[in-house]
Amino acid sequence: MKKSSTIQILHFLSDCRKNILINFIDKKVFSSELFYVTSDLRKILRRFNSYIQVQKLIVINKIDISSENWYKYNNYFKLLIIENYLIIKHKGLKSKVIKNYIGFMILNNHNVLLQIEIEDCHIVCFNVSS
């Protein structure tokens, strides 16, 4: 299996229902063991990250983080998207390096989400309306 090195950002207009997409992915694409939905970016980027090691897709639904913290985590998050290997840290155990197969998708209503530079070729943005 080859890792996707892009992140899909779906910018929804306020009248669109993001949960339809989340439910479809959960019921038709991935089983619940391989698919994780969160609005707390810190759960993905925190020091002890062992629960993400088995995920194939992580959907971030409405990022619940302040602007200054988002920009602090921005580069680390971009590395998660493009790196072929992850360092998995278990609390109280030795860290291990594993192959990174995680895909990422962000669903949001906000206009500004990631700091995107000209050379960022790993980000795909879509506007979604009903």
Q: Which CATH superfamily is domain 7-128 in?
A: P-loop containing nucleotide triphosphate hydrolases (3.40.50.300)
C-beta of residue 85 within 8 angstroms of C-beta of residue 99: yes
List of residues 6+ apart from 122 with CB closer than 8 A? 5, 6, 7, 78, 81, 82
Predicted confidence (pLDDT) per residue in 29-78, tens digit: 887 778 888 887 777 777 788 878 888 888 888 776 666 666 677 777 77
What number is the average pLDDT over the span 121-129?
79
In 1-113, which residue ranges form alpha helices assigned H by DSSP? Answer: 18-24, 42-45, 67-82
**Per-residue buried b or exposed e for 97-126, using 16+ beta carbons within 10 Å of the residue's own CB:** eeebbbbbbbbbeeeebbeeeeeeeebeee
The reported pLDDT for the residue numbered 70 is 66
The reported pLDDT for the residue numbered 97 is 92
| Per-residue tokens: 34 | 């391989």
Largest Cα span, the chain: 48
User: Whole-number mean pLDDT of the chain?
Assistant: 79
List of residues 6+ apart from 68 with CB closer than 8 A? none
C-beta of residue 116 within 8 angstroms of C-beta of residue 1: no
What number is the average pLDDT over the span 110-128?
72
Domain ranges of the chain: 7-128
What number is the average pLDDT over the span 94-106?
89
Is 17 a residue whose pLDDT tops 80?
A: no
- pLDDT-above-90 percentage for the chain: 2
**Model pTM score:** 0.79
C-beta of residue 72 within 8 angstroms of C-beta of residue 91: no
